[in-house]
Amino acid sequence: AWPNGSSVDIRQYRTTGKVSWYYSWSSHPANTDLEFVPMLWGLAHIDEFNRMIVHSNGRPSFSTVLGMNEPQQTGQSNISPEDGAQLWKTYLQPLKDRGIRLGSPAPSSTSSGKTWLQSFLGVCGAGCTVDFLALHCYGSNPTQFINYVVDFHGTFQRPIWVTEWACQNFADLSKQCSYDEVMQFLKTTQGFMDDVDFVERYALFGAMKEMQDVNEANSLMTKAGRINKLGAQYIGSDGAEIARNSGERFPRTDTLTTTIFIFIIFGLLSFE
């Protein structure tokens, strides 16, 4: 996901040629020619979505739309499966007539997330086309992350987009991943997603200066908005060009993985 608008130069994440798309938790694109994936965040964003997406004139500049953000969370879109199904049928399902691909509402990784999605799909029945599943997953154990993603795919039998994930312990805020642990967590989880064909896209949380109560070690940029060492790892760069552009100094790493995602969103920019 990319919440930064034009305040941060997104081009610094494109130096490897692997950044291909992003989302912004909204219907508003940033000033870039990367593929934009709009989102109907929830009930509070209907007017904006209606104006910019549903009633957009001419050929749409997007090919995919994401459903509601963490619908079972009171601090997020907070919508029942029944109301979510009605929202989908009213505003998202008609987009299929325009050839738009639709991603599911993205539940958080609490135990209620999977249950909410099962209820939503049950209520929708044949009235909702869900082309792929979007999900969020926070935790500090990469094996648990992998098992969670595999379970979702096995349960719902659809392609997966991980639109938010990070090395973050919400159960005990005093026990967070160190920077080195975040780098290893990213290496393992990103490597897994790169290797399986059912994960289509992913977005680390995040490509932002302020991490919104998530462990700061997961940030892909400095407080000045420059790509950092973790950002270089994420986009598959050895860091040399980034170091020259940002003024930072860090050693070459030979264990970088080969694909990228900004969460910026490949939950904040995303890469494929």
User: Strand 35-36 to strand 64-66: parallel, antiparallel, or no bridges (unpaired)?
Assistant: unpaired
Domain count, the chain: 1
User: CA 272, CA 270: separation in Å to the nearest integer?
Assistant: 7
For residue 69, what are the domain limits?
10-270
**Sheet of 35-36, strands arranged across:** 35-36, 21-22, 269-270
Helix axes 111-124, 142-156, angle to 10 degrees: 10
pLDDT digits (tens, 9 = 90+) for 23-58: 989 998 888 888 999 999 999 999 999 998 988 765
What pLDDT score does 28 carry? 87
pTM (two decimals): 0.85
CATH of the domain at 86: 3.20.20.80
**Cis link prior to 206 (omega < 30° from 0)?**
yes
Residue 1 forms part of a structural domain: no
Residue 3 within a domain: no
Residue 15: closest CA among 232, 183, 229, 226:
232
- Return the H-helix or E-strand segment holding 115: helix 111-124
How does pLDDT run across 220-253, given as a tens digit for each residue? 999 999 999 999 999 999 765 555 454 444 433 3
What the block records as the tokens of 56 is: 């957009």
- Count the residues in the chain: 272
Residue 225 lies in a domain: yes
Half-sphere exposure of 89 (CA within 13 A, CB side): 14
Torsion, CA 222, CA 73, CA 170, CA 235, rounded to 10: -40
